Amino acid sequence: MLARRSVVRTLRQPLMVVPSLVFPLLLLSINSSGLESTTMLPGFPTDSYFEFALAIAFVQGALFSANSAGTNVANDIESGFLNRLSLTPLRRVALMMGQLSGILALGLIQAVTFVLVGVAFGAGIEAGLLGAVVIVAMSLTISLAFGCIGAFVALRSGSGEAVQGVFPLFFAALFLSSMALPRDLIEIDWFQTVATYNPVSYMLEGIRSLVITGWDGEALALGFACAGGVALIALAAASSALRTRMVRT
Amino acid sequence: MSRGGFWSVALAVGWRNAHNFFTNPAMAIPALMFPLFFFTAFAGGLSRVDSVPGFDFDGGYTTFVYGFVLLQASAFGGIFTGFSIARDFESGFSRRLMLAASRRGGIVAGYWLAALVRAVFTVSVITVVALIAGLTIDGSAVDLVGLYTLAILVNAVAMLFGSGVAMRLRTMQAGPAMQTPAFLFLFLAPVWVPYDLLTGWVQAAASVNPVTLVLEAGRGLLSGDPTEVLPAFAVVLLLAAVTVLWAYGGLRSAERVA
């Protein structure tokens, strides 16, 4: 019931669905035309910046998921819906996953759209059809990870404004990663170090490997480990915050 | 100076909005963080781009990116002031302000003063960070006066555009209508690489985008090699004239419902 409510509530709000599809695609288009010349750098892994930048759309879409998830949970707190739920014998993890179903549905729409747009505009997915399926799976894991962080912030603060306030930090995580260039081509030492410790770099590189290289076990393992790890930690933190909030109730 | 006069209203509105900006972290932090993120991400993450064949800007990549971020911070200082205007309409403050002010042009002038304060603060912080990160300024004092005058004019154009939208729609939901055109104009310009290295539809868009001219003039002034300065000023002054009319129309529209 909660999952169905979450899916319907998310997908029937154009302001949640449309920007999360349009903005990543717009930036992909601008970036790939603006930075095509960087493929001339020695060591750049592909001759198409569009293929390189395609992975950014998936992570950026997931960032919008975090915002949506957090806003939805905050609305439930502010409207008293969560208070009423606390009277039912629901398990916390089930409640959390129910709340996040809408984000996973949105993540699925985003991932399939980005794969189709990528292929339509000439990005050959080197790992083939199965690789496209794995891209969608990784993208969903990333959406879940960021969605859990958004839900955690909402549960801790109980405020939609706080979720909006954290949004720039998610973008900082994306910007301070190997988003624009491969890590070994980043010239500034401190930036390269930050990008190396930033899990978002490995999420991008996991998707990127399937588009550019083919099947790269290490990149995939690191990508799934980072996305899954962040998802697990954030889910545990959100469940704990949910328990605290329900005790307060 | 009468209490309802032009400058009295302008100074009161300017002071109130500048005060709100500095005392409300939810307003000050995003205004500061976004240009800083852009500067850090692109000056740091893309610094190797200056090795691309055809990259002909002498000042280095940090300076190249600073030229854009300066323009971006100035423009968004103006656009975010449009958000404040919309918020004042939602809260009912603007309606009371309209009743109190006999010279209502002072209201727009006051918001412009606030936009200017916001931009000066943001640009100052970004400039300090950029200098620490290796910004090199080869332009003379006159070049720098030209550069920052250009930035102030861009701030005024963005603020006047935002205020025109905010005063017509009078809701915070007008945010995307202010932000999206500004975003598109800024990013459909030679942001990361010089114009000649752009490809595809972005190069076509940049060729007719007035921001391209302003950005190239700004970078030229920074590197001590002024190019297209007069056309850039002409374009910005023309945009300022158009947006003054746009903001004036917005004010008239708001007066009708006040």
More confidently predicted of B23 and B164? B164
- Option in B37, B51, B188 nearest A41 (CB): B51
Q: Mean pLDDT throughout A97-117?
A: 87
Closest CB to A181 among B45, B187, B188: B45
Using the beta-carbon criterion (under 8 Å), do B198 and A34 form an inter-chain contact? yes
Residue B86, chain A, CB below 8 Å: the answer is: no
Q: What pLDDT is recorded for position B70?
A: 95
B194 pLDDT band (50/70/90 cuts)? very high
Whether A186 sits inside 8 A of B48 (CB atoms) is yes
Residues A201-241 have pLDDT tens digits of 999 999 999 999 999 999 999 999 999 999 999 988 988 88
What is the rounded distance in angstroms from the CA atom of residue A60 to the CA atom of residue B117? 32
Q: What is the pLDDT of residue A69?
A: 76
Closest residue in chain B to residue A42, using alpha carbons only = B52
pLDDT score for A249 = 54
A87 φ/ψ angles, rounded to the nearest 5 degrees: -85, -10
Find the CB nearest A179 among B45, B190, B199.
B45
Assign B74 a pLDDT band (cuts: 50, 70, 90): very high
Q: In A, residues 28-57, which contact B (CB 8 Å cutoff)?
A: 29-30, 32-38, 40-41
Mean pLDDT, range B69-78, rounded to an integer: 92
Residue A49 CA, chain-centre distance (Å), reads: 21
At B243, is the pLDDT very low, low, confident or very high (cuts 50, 70, 90)?
very high
Our CA-based measurement puts residue A55 at a distance from the nearest CA of chain B, in whole angstroms, of 16
Task: Answer yes or no: is pLDDT of B49 > 80.
Answer: yes
CB of A171 within 8 Å of a chain B CB? The answer is yes
- Rounded Cα gap, residues A149 and B190, in angstroms: 35
The three-state secondary structure class of A63 is helix
Q: What is the rounded CA–CA span in Å between residue B25 and residue B33?
A: 11
> How many angstroms separate the CA atoms of B204 and A131, rounded?
34
Higher pLDDT, B211 or B4: B211
Residue of A nearest to B26 (CA): A165
Report chain A's mean pLDDT, rounded to a whole number.
Answer: 86
Would you tell me the crossing angle of helices A92-120 and A49-79 to the nearest 10 degrees?
150
Query: What's the rounded mean pLDDT across residues A21-38?
Result: 89
Mean pLDDT of A131-159: 89
- Contact flag B192-A35 (C-beta cutoff 8 Å): yes
What is the pLDDT at residue B15? 93
Mark yes or no for CB contact B29/A165 under 8 Å: yes
- Domain positions in chain B are 6-257
Of B46, B54, B203, the CB nearest to A33: B203
Under the banding of pLDDT at 50, 70 and 90, the label for residue A163 is confident
Q: What is the mean pLDDT of chain B?
A: 89
Q: What pLDDT band is residue B258 in, cutting at 50, 70 and 90?
A: low
Mutate to test the interface with A, among B36, B49, B83 (most CBs of A within 10 A): B49
Provide mean pLDDT across the span B86-104. Answer: 83
The reply to whether residue A38 touches residue B46, judged by beta carbons under 8 angstroms, is: yes
pLDDT (tens digit per residue) in B200-230: 889 999 999 999 999 999 999 999 999 899 9
pLDDT of the residue at A246: 73
Q: Report the pLDDT averaged over residues A156-182.
A: 80
Q: Give the pLDDT confidence score for residue B121 in this predicted structure.
A: 93
> Residue A15: which pLDDT band, with cuts at 50, 70 and 90?
low
Task: Report how far residue A182's alpha carbon sits from residue B16's, in angstroms, rounded to the nearest whole number.
Answer: 46
Proportion of chain B above pLDDT 90, given as a percent: 53
The pLDDT of residue A20 is 81
Lowest mean pLDDT across A74-83, B75-84, B157-166, B239-248: A74-83
How many beta-carbon pairs under 8 angstroms link A with B? 90
pLDDT at site B217? 96
pTM, to two decimals: 0.82
Per DSSP, the residues of A130-183 read HHHHHHHHHHHHHHHHHHHHHHHHHHHH--HHHHHHHHHHHHHHHHTSTTSS-G
Q: Would you say residue A19 has pLDDT above 60?
A: yes
Asked if B257 reaches chain A (Cβ–Cβ under 8 Å), the answer is no
Percentage of residues of chain A with pLDDT beyond 90 = 42
pLDDT at res. B2:
58
Mean pLDDT of A152-177: 79
